[in-house]
Amino acid sequence: AVKAAGKGHYRFYETKLYEALRSRVDREHELRHAIEHDELVVHYQPRIDISTGLVSSMEALVRWQHPERGRIEPHDFISLAEETGLILGIGELVMDKVCAQLADWARQEHKIIPVSVNVSLRQLSHGNFIKMVTTCLKRHRIPAQWLEIEITESTMMGDSQDVSEVLSVLQKMGIKFLIDDFGTGYSSLSQLQKLDFDVLKVDRAFTSEVDKTEEGRVFFTAIITMAHALGMRVVAEGVENERQISILKRLHCDEVQGYYVAKPLPPALKQSEFPLESIPEIA
């Protein structure tokens, strides 16, 4: 009986392992197919300047519109894309879609709001990154000033030499750089000073504390003081209620982004047509 159970277990794990491997290969194949068959779409989430109540930028967030399984969020495919290198193709596709969208918007209205694109360290340190970006800008005839790039803090560890070179070349062209998810990584003050970022986006985990605890407010204040001292603007990510916004305003936070203001949405005909929930209350 013991032997039979053992054998059963073995079969069970064998099947599980087989399924896990097969599904990984399948998922990679599917993702590759998605890239080639234009199943990736870009949604946009506005970022608001607290002092004016105006949209200062829009963040491009990729989604996978699967023909059978419906919409798949980045959480469920970005890490696979990172591991397989497919993130390079996705990154190029997103950059091209964003530039095409900006060119489209420019045909509809006079004033253009910049778009920020999320880029992983793997993309940024790939030798072709600068060329890829400049090619997209040229293809759609849009100025570099309309583009911003977000890099997640937790990926900036270790040798930042390559990053710092790419950063300064693109910054000289007029592209702004943002540190994303700040507070989740371990960047030292010296790293922050060396890499000359323009904007610091504080992770949602810290935003959700400002209307809950005094410690939360103290922590946020410290980040703002440090960022301002280093010449960076501060964005609070994931703002979900009005109280958070009024507290953040009092703490001299510069900008907010979150479901309370606007969710990521498919591109509207005009940038100025993006529905915003609460602009009058902010300004």
Asked if residues 283 and 246 have their Cβ atoms less than 8 Å apart, the reply is: no
How far is it between the farthest Cα atoms of the chain? 78
CB of 188 to ligand C2E, least distance (A): 21
Cα dist. 69→19, 38, 47, 64, 239 in Å?
19, 15, 30, 10, 30
Tell whether residue 148 is a contact of Mg ion (CB under 5 A): no
Which C-beta is closer to Mg ion: that of 80 or that of 106? 80
Q: Binder to ligand C2E among 30, 180, 254, 255 (CB under 6 A)?
A: 180
CB of 223 to Mg ion, least distance (A): 14
Tell whether residue 73 is a contact of ligand C2E (CB under 6 A): yes
Q: Binder to Mg ion among 30, 148, 153, 180 (CB under 5 A)?
A: 180
Alpha helices in the chain (DSSP H): 2-36, 78-84, 87-108, 121-124, 129-139, 161-173, 189-194, 204-207, 214-229, 242-250, 279-282
Residue 265 CB neighbours (<10 A): 14
Which C-beta is closer to ligand C2E: that of 134 or that of 184? 184
CB of 82 to ligand C2E, least distance (A): 8
Asked if residues 142 and 105 have their Cβ atoms less than 8 Å apart, the reply is: no
Contact letters (x/-) for ligand C2E, 204-243, by CB under 6 A? x---------------------------------xxx---
Tell whether residue 34 is a contact of ligand C2E (CB under 6 A): no
With CB cut-offs between 5 and 8 Å by kind, which of ligand C2E, Mg ion, none does residue 119 bind? ligand C2E
DSSP helix, strand, coil percent of the chain (3-state; round to 5): 50, 20, 30
Tokens 């964005």 locate to 235
| Residues making contact with ligand C2E (CB under 6 A) | 45, 61-62, 73-75, 78, 87, 91, 94, 118-120, 150, 152, 180-181, 204, 238-240, 258-259, 264
